[in-house]
Amino acid sequence: MDKISSIAVPANRTANKAGVAEWFGISITSVDRWVLRGCPFVQKGERGVSWVFDLLAVAEWKFGRQEGTVDPSGMTPKDRLDYFRSERERLKLEHETGSLIPAAEVERVVAEAMKALAQTLDTLPDALERDAGISGETVQIVQRVIDAARESMYADMVKLT
């Protein structure tokens, strides 16, 4: 039996035998067979003490996750369903713990940052003319340099996306 008790596991990712059975859509007897075949657990059950499993570790064991890669296409339909259910829960957990940020939120923050940068660049030539007393010709040169930098940044951003 593979024991993983040395790893700190978040409480919302743990389950007893009944929870593992429910999560994977199997019977408790099947969970017992999994344990005999090497299914990892956090705490071995005894009289008056429940078994404790890390659902992520169980899913990784069940689906043969190797170095962060899983190919669900080679799984049976039942295993594939179990895998995608566990992935959905993993993503939900990562979102809840803040280790996964939705793309829409990242896009919103980046858009706000780019808008603030663009506004600053738009007002820079006027501020230099007013506060630093530079000439109109110099302001035009600064404006051309800023425009070229903005176009270059835009091209770089397009390449990234």
What confidence score (pLDDT) does residue 94 get? Answer: 86
pLDDT over 70, % of the chain: 89
DSSP for 25-94, please give it. T--HHHHHHHHHTT--BSB--BTTB--BEEHHHHHHHHHT-BTTB--GGGS-HHHHHHHHHHHHHHHHHH
What confidence score (pLDDT) does residue 7 get? Answer: 53
pLDDT band of 13, cuts 50, 70, 90: confident
What confidence score (pLDDT) does residue 116 get? Answer: 93
pLDDT band of 75, cuts 50, 70, 90: confident
Mean pLDDT for 61-86 is 78
What confidence score (pLDDT) does residue 160 get? Answer: 81
Domain boundaries, the chain: 11-97, 103-160
Mean pLDDT for 22-37 is 90
pLDDT digits (tens, 9 = 90+) for 125-151: 989 999 999 998 999 999 999 999 999
Q: What is the CATH number of domain 11-97?
A: 1.10.10.10
Mean pLDDT for 16-40 is 91
How buried is 90 (Cβ within 10 angstroms: 0-12 exposed, 13-18 middle, 19+ buried)? middle
Instruction: Choose between 15 and 64: higher pLDDT.
Output: 15
Q: pTM for the full model?
A: 0.41
DSSP SS3 for 123: helix
